Amino acid sequence: MNSTDNSPELSGIGELPAGRPPQTDFTDGLDYPRLGSVTFRRGTLTDNQEATFAEHWPRLGKVLDDELIDVDSWFGRSGHPTILEIGSGTGTSTAAMAPVEADTNVIAVELYKPGLAKLLGAVVRGNIDNVRMVRGDGIEVLARMIPEKSLDGVRIFFPDPWPKARHHKRRIIQSGPLRLIATRLKPGGVLHVATDHADYAEWIDELVQVEDLLEFRGWPWEDAPLLTDRQVITKFEGKGLDKDHTINEYLWQRTDAPNP
């Protein structure tokens, strides 16, 4: 895997450049979602959020680049399990779960700054010490910033279902991301996915056995080695429940097989 472009020079705290971002060139023949152009609305943070971002982001946040994350250094402790949450949104469940699993390092990945600003505010107000944030696309963060066999868990809660058929190729649950996630998980590590979109659930059902490095554990799994109770209803989950949507959850465990 090689990045097709160098990381662009960034300006401003936590800012990403607009336009088409650099994307990793995967050569394993599997299916990966590809980003289109990315645009960001300006002026979406309140003055207080801007002040909080300026003060705390340099310590608690990173922007997508090609430097592997040193978890022990970033969290200021060693020997603790680490979970990557892809698409943390506004961080409602992230901030609620973190105190329940204070022994675990949680890295929340989100592309949009307003969501990260809300999570950052909750972390600061709640004096939550075990959450860090990365601004960027989850696939790129996995490929370019996360060492192999370094994660105890990956969470993907209510990913964008891309409901139109022509957009299905943008869905994050595909053969390529499942392989990438598997390589970043330690043997025994857990992937936890939740969706309330019926068509997306059918899509995932077809992929539960596609990755040899991931053993499908179904749902629920009482012996899961990490927290699988999401503690609170997320914003997107609440909308789904209001429409009588069924919540489908999936758990996989990284096998002991060597990387192919």
- Residue 23: per-residue pLDDT: 85
5 labelled as ligand-binding?
no
Q: Does 216 have pLDDT greater than 50?
A: yes
Q: Residue for token digits 């992230």? A: 94
Label residue 233 by pLDDT band (50, 70, 90): low
pLDDT class of 28 with cuts at 50, 70, 90: very high
CA distance 178 to 217: 15
**Residue range 138-156: average pLDDT?**
97
Would you state the pLDDT for residue 14?
86
* Chain centroid, CA 238 distance in Å: 20
For the chain, how many structural domains are there in total? 1
First-to-last C-alpha distance (Å) of the chain: 14
Q: Is residue 234 part of a domain?
A: yes
Give the separation between CA 245 and CA 190, rounded to whole angstroms. 25
Please check if 148 is assigned to a binding site.
no
Q: pTM for the whole thing?
A: 0.89
Mean pLDDT of 205-212: 97
Among candidates 128, 58, 49, 122, which has minimal Cα distance to 90? 122
Is 30 a member of any domain?
Answer: yes
For range 192-208, the mean pLDDT: 96
CA distance 256 to 240: 36
Asked if the model's pLDDT at residue 78 lies above 90, the reply is yes
Of 66, 70, 72, 160, which is the active-site residue? 160
Reading the block at residue 106, the tokens are 């949680």
In a domain, 259, yes or no: no
Token digits for 83?
Answer: 């979970």
Q: How confident is the model at residue 10 (pLDDT cuts 50, 70, 90)?
A: very low
Given a cut of 70, is residue 242 above it in pLDDT?
no
Range of the domain at 85: 2-254
pLDDT at 1 over 80: no
164 in a known ligand binding site: yes
Report if residue 260 sits inside a domain: no
Please indicate whether residue 65 is annotated as part of the active site.
no
* pLDDT at residue number 67: 95
CATH code of residue 79: 3.40.50.150
Angle between helices 113-125 and 47-60 (to 10 degrees): 80
Mean pLDDT score of the chain: 88
